[in-house]
Amino acid sequence: MNFQAYAGFVPGTYTDSLAPPVSTWWPWRGRTVHVARAAVPAAEVRAMVVHGGGGYSGALWPAAAVAAGDGVDVLAPDLPLYGDTVEPDPAGVRYDAWVDLLCDLVAAERAADPRPLILFGASMGGMLAYEVAARTRQVAAVVATCLLDMSDPAARAAATRIAWMGRPAPAVLRAVVPVFGRVRLPIRWLADMAAMSTDPRLSRLCAADPRGGGASVPLAFLSSWMNYRHAAPEHFDAAPVTLVAPAADTWTAPELSIRFLQRISGPTELVMLENCGHFPIEEPGLTQLRDAFTRVAERAARR
C-alpha cells in the first residue's frame, strides 16, 4: 500500500496526525480482499471508504483519514483489479461483482459491529456507495464526491477520455464484449487521468501507480459499468445523501452529480469543496470536507 506517497500531498496542518492504516484480509467468493483499517473502539460511528476506477485504499487513505477526523473508525476495501486484493481472474471482473462484494462486506461489518456505518464514496465510488445503501438498507448515511449516473449521456461523456465516445459507449461495448470482453486495457487509455488533480504531480502519481490508475481493466467490466442500472433516485430513501462536490473538478463537472442529487427523494445535502479538483486534497475544500463529514457523523450517531 503506497500510503506515504499520497500522504505527501496532504496540507501540512494535517500531516502530524496522519497514521498509516492496518492491513486486514477478508475472504470473498474465492478472492482475498484487502481491507485497510484504523480501528477506534470508542468511536460512535464507523466509515467505509469506497474507491472508484483508478483508486484504492492506499491512495485514498490520507484524504479520507483527514475527512473522517480522529473520532471515526475507518475501513477501506480494495475492490478487485485494484490495490492489494488478490483476484484469481482479473479478466473476469465485472461491475456487478463490485456491488455484490460491497453489499456483503457491509452485511458482515454490521453483523460484527452494530455502530452506525457511513459510506464515503470517492469518484466512481459515489454511485457504488449509493447503490449499496439502496440494496442493503444497513447504511446510516452516504457521503459522495461524485454521483455519476451512466444512464446520463453527459455523465458518460465526462467519464471517458474522448467525450464523444462516451455517448454511444454502452451499445458499442455490448457489441464487442462477446469476442473481446476479456481483453484488458490500461485505465489511463480510457479515462483522463491528467484531470485527476489540480496538482500535476498527484495526477501523474495516480496514473502511474500499478495498484491504481496504472492498472488494466477488461472491456466487459467497462460494459457492465456503462450498462448498469442503479436504483432509481426518485424512490431512494435508504439513507441521507451528502454530495461533497469538488468545485474545481475539470474531469467530472459538479453539475452532473448535482443533477442526480436533485432527483433523490430522501434527505440530501450539497457541499461545494472550494479549490478542490477531482481528487479533493486542496484547501480550503479539504477542511470543508472534514466539517461536512463531522456533521454527517454527528447526525448518524444520533439516529
The CATH number given to whatever domain includes residue 226 is: 3.40.50.1820
189 Cβ contact partners less than 8 Å away, ≥ 6 residues apart: 161
Whole-model pTM above 0.85? Answer: yes
pLDDT score for 277: 96
- Mean per-residue pLDDT, 229-246: 97
114 Cβ contact partners less than 8 Å away, ≥ 6 residues apart: none
pLDDT tens-digit profile of 135-168? 999 999 999 999 999 999 888 888 876 554 556 7
pLDDT score for 164: 45
Q: Read off the DSSP letter of residue 79.
A: P
pLDDT score for 201: 96
Number of structural domains (the chain) is 1
- Mean per-residue pLDDT, 182-207: 91
End-to-end alpha carbon distance in the chain: 34
pLDDT tens-digit profile of 97-118? 999 999 999 999 999 999 999 9
Under the banding of pLDDT at 50, 70 and 90, the label for residue 2 is confident
pLDDT above 70 for 89? yes
Percent of the chain having pLDDT more than 90? 81
Q: Which domain holds residue 37?
A: 3-302
Express the helix, strand and coil content of the chain in percent, nearest 5 each. Answer: 45, 20, 40
